[in-house]
């Protein structure tokens, strides 16, 4: 079938003006699709999908102080959200306390500042941790925040076996796209394997990692690059866990993934379906998984922040609705819809509520939840699914040819590939080949006045004062002894999470824990890709 329009997908694959039966010549539904909830899970990981109940509706929140964020969480729960998704400020993400010089000016800005067990208590005060699911967007210090959450739950009388949620804990994509790494890649993998083992024993319902393509997509990765590099990282995590002596079926059922949903709805639906099929085959054929749950690619989706515009921000409501619809049609397990004002500042309460209402309209006012995988058998969707699968598998192999994800990261491969894609897209926008409504077409001379949410500038001073009071009040000898035991475990092969939990229970700060490990493992210095 010839492409007479020259149209290309986000992955730079051709899009035909018309698809017919010839696009699926030789297509075997039994092998390619199977039944919903069955291998290869193309049609979804559960037999009934949303016909029984909708996806988990998460809202990403966290700003300023733990007390302010706690108030927002109570508002979201009251509005009907089924799960919380916590944003942390940059110092917390990088393993620094709020009173360290490097943290100056960043405390509480892009998320909530969490320095200690005291802060975590405040963050989740009055929230029933045995009834809500909590996702925490934290990577290099993911183990620290997980243990703080568990300690708060224990104070509420909630055991680790009752807790449900996810820590992102995906440090490999940090080296590729975001930069909030601390330790070198191989030491980071060791820490992640320790989290897998700890949660298998102590927190069996917790998702130990959310292997993320989202941030790579936000940095400019195409849909093919997004799933290829994400699954290549996942392969590396599975190998690290196996090298640590874990059986694949002991940890793989708790792996989860995190993807973006763009406005290019048809390709996004195909992307999600292709990703499920690739992962099922990798787990079954390459790693010998026997448990069907080990082969399921369960994922959270967030709408595309990079596609939000500061110009005519209300138009973002339309973008987010389309992106959310694509995620649902693609079979996501949970969804966060961005607020329309996030290209300008942290979302206001009204904007966050509208974002949640968008999901509720999709779930309860449309018919897309009444049948499983409504696009199955579509000429265009099945054809695109096959094309994305083939291109992603080839790119995964390119990573493997370079020695796997860590070796490829050290060579700068993934980062340079994404940068090339981002550059191509920016040239298309600048040249007018790609339309962005309100930016390079359909602009207005004067923008409507908008009042963004502003973060209290006194937060940093207040957080520093709390840290000073904490250090004066705690048993410093107990903290020092616990941190020394943590370093001993880091030098050897013992699981570091057990002494880490002791140190945090003794009110060691997150920064002190990270510094203790920095002294043993060092920090990572990236190579330039150009």
pLDDT value of residue 453:
63
CB atoms within 10 A of CB 322: 18
pLDDT for residue 122 is more than 50? yes
pLDDT value of residue 4:
47
Highest mean pLDDT out of 100-109, 184-193, 226-235: 226-235
pLDDT value of residue 408:
95
Question: What distance in Å separates the CA atoms of residue 395 and residue 216, rounded to the nearest whole number?
Answer: 15
Mean pLDDT of 206-231: 96
What are 218's two structure tokens? 């936000």
Question: What distance in Å separates the CA atoms of residue 387 and residue 378, rounded to the nearest whole number?
Answer: 14
- H/E segment holding residue 137: strand 133-137
pLDDT for residue 260 is more than 60? yes
Mean pLDDT of 135-157: 96
Burial 412-448 (b: 16+ CB within 10 A, else e): bbbbebbbebbeebeeeeeeeebebebebeeeeeeee
pLDDT for residue 216 is more than 70? yes
Average pLDDT of the chain is 93
pLDDT for residue 39 is more than 70? yes
Mean pLDDT of 84-95: 93
pLDDT for residue 530 is more than 60? no
Sorted by sequence, the CB contacts under 8 Å of residue 294 that are 6+ apart come out as 248, 249, 252, 253, 283, 287
Task: Write the pLDDT tens digit of every residue in 340-356.
Answer: 998 887 788 889 889 99
58: alpha, beta or left? (left if phi > 0; alpha if psi -120 to 50): beta
pLDDT value of residue 447:
79
DSSP helix/strand/coil, 76: helix
pLDDT value of residue 5:
61
Query: Among 94-108, 284-298, 343-357, 420-434, whose mean pLDDT is lowest?
Result: 343-357
Please tell me what DSSP assigns to residue 441: B
Sorted by sequence, the CB contacts under 8 Å of residue 334 that are 6+ apart come out as 55, 56, 57, 58, 83, 135, 300, 301
Give me the helices (H) in 203-264, please: 214-218, 223-243, 248-251
Burial 451-486 (b: 16+ CB within 10 A, else e): eebebeeebbebbbebbeebbeebeeeebeebbebb
% the chain with pLDDT above 70 = 96
Mean pLDDT of 396-407: 97
Task: Write the pLDDT tens digit of every residue in 468-480.
Answer: 999 999 999 999 9
Give me the helices (H) in 128-184, please: 142-155, 172-173
Cα–Cα distances in angstroms (integers) from residue 84 to residues 133, 171, 285, in the given order: 6, 21, 35
pLDDT value of residue 2:
42
Sorted by sequence, the CB contacts under 8 Å of residue 516 that are 6+ apart come out as 483, 486, 487, 490, 503
Count helices and strands (H / E) in the chain.
Answer: 21, 9
CA atoms within 13 A on the CB side of 198: 23
Question: What distance in Å separates the CA atoms of residue 138 and residue 135, rounded to the nearest whole number?
Answer: 9
Q: Is 254 exposed, middle or buried (0-12, 13-18, 19+ CB in 10 A)?
A: buried
pLDDT value of residue 349:
81
What are 121's two structure tokens? 């208590």
Under a CB-based contact definition with an 8 Å cutoff, are residues 146 and 172 in contact?
no
Mean pLDDT of 326-336: 96
Task: Write the pLDDT tens digit of every residue in 362-398.
Answer: 999 999 999 999 999 999 999 999 999 999 999 999 9
* pLDDT higher at 71 or 202: 202
Sorted by sequence, the CB contacts under 8 Å of residue 468 that are 6+ apart come out as 99
Cα–Cα distances in angstroms (integers) from residue 46 to residues 41, 42, 182, 375, in the given order: 8, 11, 37, 16
What are 502's two structure tokens? 């002791």
* pLDDT higher at 450 or 495: 495
pLDDT for residue 3 is more than 50? no
What are 425's two structure tokens? 């897209």
Mean pLDDT of 31-41: 97
**For residue 345, which of 262, 260, 439, 450 has the smallest C-alpha distance?**
450
Please tell me what DSSP assigns to residue 379: H
Cα 386 to chain center, whole Å?
Answer: 25
Supply the pTM of this predicted model: 0.89
Task: Write the pLDDT tens digit of every residue in 499-519.
Answer: 999 999 999 999 999 999 999
Strands (E), 159-237: 164-167, 206-207, 209-212
């Amino acid at each position: 079938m010839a492409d007479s329009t020259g149209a290309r997908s986000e992955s730079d694959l051709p899009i035909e003006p018309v698809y017919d039966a010839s696009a699926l010549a030789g297509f075997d539904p039994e092998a390619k699709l199977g039944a919903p909830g069955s291998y290869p899970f193309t049609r979804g990981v559960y037999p009934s999908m949303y016909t029984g109940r909708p996806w988990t509706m998460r809202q990403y929140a966290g700003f300023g102080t733990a007390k302010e964020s706690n108030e927002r969480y109570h508002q979201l729960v009251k509005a009907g959200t089924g799960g919380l998704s916590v944003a942390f400020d940059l110092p917390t993400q990088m393993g620094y306390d709020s009173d360290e010089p490097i943290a100056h000016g960043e405390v509480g800005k892009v998320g909530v500042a969490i320095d200690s067990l005291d802060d975590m208590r405040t963050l989740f005060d009055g929230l029933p941790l045995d009834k809500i699911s909590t996702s925490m967007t934290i990577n290099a210090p993911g183990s620290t925040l997980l243990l703080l959450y568990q300690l708060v739950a224990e104070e509420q009388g909630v055991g680790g076996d009752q807790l449900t949620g996810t820590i992102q804990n995906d440090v490999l994509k940090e080296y590729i796209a975001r930069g909030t790494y601390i330790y070198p890649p191989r030491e980071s993998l060791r820490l992640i394997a320790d989290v897998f083992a700890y949660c298998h024993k102590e927190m069996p319902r917790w998702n130990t990692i959310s292997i993320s393509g989202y941030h790579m997509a936000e940095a400019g990765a195409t849909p093919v690059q997004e799933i290829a590099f994400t699954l290549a990282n996942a392969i590396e995590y599975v190998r690290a866990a196996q090298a640590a002596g874990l059986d694949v079926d002991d940890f793989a059922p708790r792996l989860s993934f995190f993807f973006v949903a763009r406005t290019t709805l048809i390709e996004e639906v195909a992307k999600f379906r292709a990703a499920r099929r690739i992962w099922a085959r990798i787990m079954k054929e390459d790693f010998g998984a026997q448990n069907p749950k080990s082969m399921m690619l369960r994922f959270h989706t967030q709408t595309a922040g990079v596609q939000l515009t500061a110009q005519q921000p209300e138009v973002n409501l339309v973008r987010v609705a389309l992106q959310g619809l694509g995620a649902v049609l693609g079979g996501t397990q949970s969804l966060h819809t961005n607020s329309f004002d996030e290209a300008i500042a942290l979302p206001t309460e009204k904007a966050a509520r509208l974002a949640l209402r968008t999901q509720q309209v999709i779930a309860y006012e449309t018919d897309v939840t009444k049948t499983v995988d409504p696009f199955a058998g579509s000429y265009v969707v099945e054809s695109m699914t096959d094309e994305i699968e083939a291109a992603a598998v080839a790119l995964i192999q390119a990573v493997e040819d370079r020695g796997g994800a860590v070796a490829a990261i050290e060579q700068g491969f993934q980062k340079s590939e994404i940068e090339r894609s981002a550059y191509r897209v920016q040239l298309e926008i600048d040249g007018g080949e790609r339309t962005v409504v309100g930016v390079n077409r359909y602009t207005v001379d004067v923008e409507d006045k908008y009042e963004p949410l502003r973060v209290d500038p006194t937060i940093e001073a207040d957080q520093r004062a709390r840290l000073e009071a904490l250090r004066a009040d705690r048993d410093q000898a107990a903290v020092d002894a616990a941190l020394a035991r943590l370093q001993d475990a880091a030098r050897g092969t013992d699981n570091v999470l057990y002494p880490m939990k002791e140190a945090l229970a003794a009110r060691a700060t997150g920064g002190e824990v990270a510094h203790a490990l920095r002294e043993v493992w060092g920090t990572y210095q990236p190579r330039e890709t150009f």
